[in-house]
Copies of this chain bind each other. A is one copy, B any other.
Amino acid sequence: MGVIQNTQIVLAERPVTDIDLKKTFKIQKVSLSDELGPNEILVKVIYISLDPAMRGWLRDVRSYIRPVRIDEVMRSADITQVIKSNNPDYKVGDIVRATCGWQEYDVLKPSDDIVKVKTFPGVSPSTYLGVLGITGLTAYFGLFEIGEIAKKGGPDCTVVVSGAAGATGSVAAQIAKHVFGCRVIGIAGSEDKCDYLTKELGLDVALNYKSKTFFKDLCAATPKLIDIFFDNTGGDILDACLRRIAFKGRIIVCGAISTYNDAVPKGPAYYSALITQRARMEGFIVFDYAKQYGKAVEDMSKWIKEGKLKSRETIISGIENTPEALVKLFNGDNTGKMLVKVAEEETKSKL
């Protein structure tokens, strides 16, 4: 029986507005026994997923999931590798997605939320935190279930995506463009991201919301108004899109990252456009569609192989940098999926 030194990052104090790198989280080293109970596995964390939803988990309010407790390891989805196993279903070296949180090692029981990752050539295991993970599934189910894109689609359907260079937005925009052939306008916060959206992802138009002419540009880019708005950001961008919403338009309320650090956010002033345009704003949580994940991953794996779905990652190294990576996510410093690399994946021969 051995003892492993395990670095963990726990919630120290709930932030009221912005995350405070000196106060919100606390790093600690604990000892973890590698002695396993029946069917348990010991995993080493390779990648930690950073997601806007995490800001919500820090709040002590009624939500879709319980808040992270003070002194508890911060929750996250991770890509991990099995390094010791008492479970015949998991072999040493297997890559497993699990909710271990911000730490280097964890012991998992079969009842935990564990998914064995089937890797295929050209696809990094980190893809299972991005396009083929919760972020990509969020884009997929948001568009299909809330946007009902399959009933619309085609070049006469104008789709606008905010946070379009982000992990979820980039998948939503590409599905709308390359699978359904819609006119797709991506909104992002820098000229580099806008170039990425049009030149690499092939969207029709990309708009920088920091531009002084943003609303004018949005009007010019949506001559037939907006049929589907996939919103990741909220705030002024949501208001601008409400002002351009089409008759019976759909607003997929996926996230509101621009407001998550506000104690009381500014709501969408122009929401009464919902009345005049008979439009709908609807929220969703991807977990509700868990039974359909298999079909979604199958579809998206196919689209990746066909070149319809590209992805980019912004990777920061070192578990101690995880809180800063989360802050960078809210500052919009990332293009594509934001990850922290905690350790190298080991080849099976080495293990």
Closest chain B residue, CB of each to CB of A63:
B276
| Complex interface: chain B residues within 8 A of A273 (CB) | 283
| Complex interface: chain B residues within 8 A of A269 (CB) | 264-267
| Complex interface: chain B residues within 8 A of A265 (CB) | 269, 272
Bound-state CA distance A266–B264 (Å) is: 12
Known pairs A266-B267, A267-B266; A62 contacts B276 (CB<8 A): yes
Q: Say yes or no for A56: interface residue by CB 8 A criterion.
A: yes
Residue from B259, B270, B282 within 8 A of A280 (CB atoms)? B282
Does B275 contact A256, Cβ atoms closer than 8 Å? yes
Q: Say yes or no for A330: interface residue by CB 8 A criterion.
A: no
Counted per complex, copies of this chain come to 2
Known pairs A267-B268, A268-B267; A254 contacts B283 (CB<8 A): no
Closest chain B residue, CB of each to CB of A285:
B278
| Complex interface: chain B residues within 8 A of A284 (CB) | 275, 278
Bound-state CA distance A272–B281 (Å) is: 10
Does A283 contact B275, Cβ atoms closer than 8 Å? yes
Q: Say yes or no for A255: interface residue by CB 8 A criterion.
A: yes
Q: Say yes or no for A64: interface residue by CB 8 A criterion.
A: yes
| Complex interface: chain B residues within 8 A of A280 (CB) | 280-283
Q: Say yes or no for A239: interface residue by CB 8 A criterion.
A: yes
Q: Say yes or no for A274: interface residue by CB 8 A criterion.
A: yes
6 closest A-B pairs by beta carbon, nearest first, are A267-B267, A274-B283, A275-B283, A267-B268, A280-B282, A267-B269
16 A-B contacts, Cβ less than 8 Å apart?
A: A64-B277, A64-B278, A253-B274, A256-B272, A266-B266, A267-B269, A268-B271, A271-B281, A272-B283, A274-B281, A274-B282, A275-B283, A276-B283, A276-B285, A278-B288, A281-B282
